[in-house]
Amino acid sequence: MAVMKMALKSLNAEPAELRERLRDALAADQVDLPPLPQVAAEVVANGAADPRNAAAFSRLIQRDPALAANIMRIANAAAYRPRAPIVSLQQAVAWLGITEIRNIALAVCVRGQLFVAPGHEPEIHGLWRESVATASWARALARLKKRNVESAYLCGLLHRIGRAAAIATLSRIEVAGRHTVAARTFSALADEFEWDFGRRLAEKWQLPASVSDVINGWRNAGRATGSSAEVLQVHVGHMLAIEVLHPELSNLALLDEHGALADLDMYPDELQALRKEADQVLAAIAHLG
């Protein structure tokens, strides 16, 4: 991601001044955001492609050698590979299935393009793990209720790209200015501008409307009427992600309080059964993290 064109004169400015300059840059469209890699864009566009057409999908992935190499590495991870090592991309697609390969390809592309923030590696890494966990839980929820699992995974993976973009942009501003923004100010600005950066990325990447809806509304799902299934699934998936990654912060009781489970037509016993998939979610984080 390129550094913001409207450079800050001083990183020692008051938070209000930093905030105003970020707003000005966004309003003037002077923030350079990374393009979605071509292969990843086609992965998104072909989310509903015929899962039987493995050969065509393999050819798509092979156009990006680095992506293909990463998929081979993940396919040969202990939890994925068969007894004999996987030695070709077509073999990986045949073994894992086009749906899983599509998910891995998208995750690899998005992480390498957006989840990079020099000087803030722990925070951006934690955000990535949270995104993978949320995507995994959202997909499990969709599968349980026989909804679109591809859309659920995509929405979960991208639900916090705005915060990732804000962190990455602020990080590059720090590098360019050879200063650091105070940690509290940095975090507050990332929180405040998460939605703005997310909206801008959704437009630039031409993401499906369902993803834009999730970026805008996943936090308030259940508290507002009319939330889509994707928004509700990501809301619940995010809370389940917090439970497996930060159990001390978990508060699943809020799901009943906010009505998200009822809106998903989901019963408490179904949620309890779903939570038994935590090991699979943790494995997905390990493979993609």
Q: CA-based angle 83:88:91, to the nearest 5?
A: 60
H helix count then E strand count, the chain = 16, 0
Average confidence (pLDDT) over 267-287: 91
- Dihedral class, residue 88 (left if φ above 0, else alpha if ψ from -120 to 50, else beta): beta
pLDDT in tens, 217-276: 998 886 656 789 999 999 999 999 999 999 998 888 777 777 888 889 998 899 999 999
Say how far apart CA 208 and CA 202 lie, in whole Å. 8
Higher pLDDT, 123 or 20: 123
Task: Give the pLDDT band (50/70/90) at residue 3.
Answer: very low
Set out the domains of the chain in order of their start, with CATH numbers: 34-114 (no CATH), 117-289 (1.10.3210.10)
Mean pLDDT of 34-55: 72
* pLDDT over threshold 50, residue 2: no
Q: What percent of the chain has pLDDT over 70?
A: 87
Residue 102 vs residues 48, 81, 96, 105, 203: alpha-carbon distances, Å: 11, 17, 10, 5, 22
Segment 68-119, tens digit of pLDDT: 888 888 888 766 667 778 888 888 888 888 888 888 888 988 998 899 998 9
- Is residue 8 pLDDT above 60, yes or no? no
Residue that wins the pLDDT comparison between 43 and 60:
60
